[in-house]
Structure 1
Amino acid sequence: MDLKTASAIRRLRLVSVPEGISWIILLVCTIIKYGVDKGFDAAPVMGPVHGTLFILYVLFWLDAWNRTKWSKGTAALYFAYSVIPGGGFILERRLNREAEDAVIAARAREEGTVNA
């Protein structure tokens, strides 16, 4: 994996958790606003925060998809994580696992060529 691909995946990982948190907070604020306390309205604050993080998520997702050449199914799944409450946490863990697997594979290739 080249440096630009690794950077694209890292950016997506870094924005996925805050985007997931903001989605959940916005959902809770909306439920409180319409269900519990009619006077509480944090949506005008959280809406733009979440919107900005979502736009960053989509831009970083597109960049990562372009660089990694994910299949359409994988790319669609990774995009779907942005609209599922808590999906950002799942994506971050999955991308972290993929990055660790890539490092392990690269080390194994290095050791295989050195020992051969």
Structure 2
Amino acid sequence: MVAVAEAYSWAGLLIAMAFKYGLDMSLGVTVMGWVHGAVFTAYVIACLVVFSPLRWSFWVLVAAGLSSIPPFATVVFERWAGRRGLLEVPDTDAPTFWGRVRYVLRELN
């Protein structure tokens, strides 16, 4: 849901930029820039929150983060991850990333 919202906010920002540079109306960029920044931040935070329970590898997390940079790439990433089953919680007893970090920190203590 956040990936699609990020793509829509990109579209809104691009339209606002067209109004700014084509018709000299800059208020839209101010508003849509703020909206896109908030949704972009929400997408990055969502990726950081779900990568451990979904047991993503580091490279999948990097791909998710990088997909937030080009316009509409978050939707492409969502579809790619969905086809590979990366958006479903795996049915396994293997520890999550943070579970492994907790274990290492406990052992070091």
CA RMSD between the two structures? 2.6
Unmatched 5+ residue regions in structure 2? 92-109
Q: Which runs of 5+ in 1 are unaligned?
A: 1-13, 107-116
Deviations 1:61-107 (A, max 9, x none): 0011122332222211111111111112112212322339969x97x
Q: Deviations over 1:22-44 (max 9, x none)?
A: 0122123123312x111353012
Residues of 1 paired with 2:70 and 2:87: CA distance? 25
Q: Which has the higher contact order (CA 8 A, sep 6+)?
A: 1
Q: Which runs of 4+ in 1 moved over 4 A?
A: 100-103
Give the aligned partner of residue 90 of structure 1.
76
Amino acid at match of 1:65: F
Any residues of structure 2 matched to 1:30-109 within 5 Å, and which?
Answer: 30-34=17-21, 36-99=22-85
Q: Output the amino acid matched with 2:63.
A: L
User: Would you say the 8 A contact 2:19–2:28 is kept in 1?
Assistant: no
TM-score (normalised: structure 2): 0.68
By percentage of residues, which structure has more helix?
1
Which residue identity lines up with residue 12 of structure 2 in the other structure?
A: I
| Percent of matched pairs sharing the same residue | 30
Q: Could you tell me how far apart the structure 2 residues matched to 1:101 and 1:19 are?
A: 17
Q: What is the deviation of 1:20?
A: 1.1
| TM-score between both structures, scaled by the size of structure 1 | 0.65
Give the number of equivalent residue pairs: 91
